[in-house]
Amino acid sequence: MSELHIITAPSLYLVGGQVVYGDEFQQFLDDHDNPDWLSTTSKPSEMLPEIGGRLCYMSFKKPRPGGNAAYIRHILESGHGSVLEHAVFSFIITGVSRSLTHEIIRHRAGLSPSQLSQRYVDESDVAFVLPPALVPNWAAWKVIEAARADGVKDLDDLPEWNRSVTFTAWREHVVHARNRYSWLSDAISSEMDHVADATARRKAAREAARSVLPNCTETKIMLTGNARAWRNVIEQRGAAGADAEIRRLAFALLGVLQVEAPALFGDYEVKTNEDGVDWIDTPYRKV
């Protein structure tokens, strides 16, 4: 069995977005006596909501000053969030726990998941996500962050970090769970020797063995969502009362999306409450 891999932060891959079919859109403008309109953004995710919004009032002719950024800000101010649904972002997210994904898939409107199957994929060497509260203090986090920047993947390779009693107990538990998973999976497989279909045998063994894996088992998920849905996720999951791991993901999502589409996500600010907990705020909630 390989070394235990303990994950301390999610990895985000923005794998998909959109394109604007410029020729076709220009044809629309020409056909409607607006040949000269040009958006001030080159980003499709910012341009498509503007196009959708302007279409409603056919307001391509005499745009107000401020360009795309001002237009989208006005959409946020007036709460006409439906046009933000024209912008779509696809993320692959790894290094998150099954408890996190169980929470994030509760967002039903405009967010589509595809998640790693625990029936098809062998979890004998699965990684576990360290719940943020099990790191004893900020000094310990700094050690972990610096090591990760140096490419250290396994927390056990960090003798200098200040392990807590709770961390040690947690680690023992996940090692035990992983051993028990492998044992069960092998045992069930051999009990099913009589089943000719090897894939069916493996699936049956894994679906039963996964029952002993904890909530902190690492998983991978692809989430495609429109900008309005991502905003709802960021607001709800970036709140001070949210689960610490999903709050960390909300901050990571915001970081990527603010670079990718500042007009759509630039209104968010990070604040710190009296207990030192960072949270995400905006004057334009739930557009």
Ligand X SMILES: Cc1cc2nc3c(=O)[nH]c(=O)nc-3n(C[C@H](O)[C@H](O)[C@H](O)COP(=O)(O)OP(=O)(O)OC[C@H]3O[C@@H](n4cnc5c(N)ncnc54)[C@H](O)[C@@H]3O)c2cc1C
Which of residues 241 and 283 has its CB atom nearest to ligand X in the complex? 241
In sequence order, the 6+-apart residues with CB closer than 8 A to the CB of 281 are 268, 269, 270, 271
Which of residues 123 and 245 has its CB atom nearest to ligand X in the complex? 245
Q: Is 80 a residue that touches ligand X (CB under 6 A)? A: no
Shortest distance (Å) from residue 110 CB to ligand X: 7
Shortest distance (Å) from residue 76 CB to ligand X: 16
Which of residues 217 and 236 has its CB atom nearest to ligand X in the complex? 236
Interface region with ligand X, contact rule CB under 6 A, candidates 71-79, 167-175, 233-241, 260-268: 233-241
Restricting to residues 193-212, which ones interact with ligand X according to CB under 6 A? none
Pick the catalytic residue from 178, 202, 206, 237: 237
Shortest distance (Å) from residue 199 CB to ligand X: 35
Shortest distance (Å) from residue 85 CB to ligand X: 11
Which of residues 61 and 285 has its CB atom nearest to ligand X in the complex? 285
Shortest distance (Å) from residue 270 CB to ligand X: 17
- Burial state string for 178-217 with b = 16 or more CB within 10 A and e = fewer than 16: beebbebbeebbeeeeeeeeeeebbebbbebbbeebbebb
Which of residues 111 and 134 has its CB atom nearest to ligand X in the complex? 111
Query: x/- binding map, residues 161-200, to ligand X, per CB under 6 A?
Result: ----------------------------------------
Q: Is 242 a residue that touches ligand X (CB under 6 A)? A: yes
Residue from 109, 169, 195, 200 that binds ligand X (CB under 6 A)? 109
Q: Is 102 a residue that touches ligand X (CB under 6 A)? A: no
Q: Is 236 a residue that touches ligand X (CB under 6 A)? A: yes
98 is catalytic: no
Residue from 68, 189, 217, 232 that binds ligand X (CB under 6 A)? 232
CA distance 133 to 81: 35
Chain centroid to CA 54:
30
Output phi, psi for 148, to 5 deg. -65, -40
Which of residues 62 and 108 has its CB atom nearest to ligand X in the complex? 108
| Cβ atoms of 131 and 216 closer than 8 Å | yes
Q: Is 101 a residue that touches ligand X (CB under 6 A)? A: no
How wide is the angle at C-alpha 187 spanned by C-alphas 186 and 188, nearest 5°?
A: 95
CA distance 18 to 86: 9
Residues making contact with ligand X (CB under 6 A) = 106-109, 229, 232, 236-237, 241-242
Q: Which residues are catalytic?
A: 237
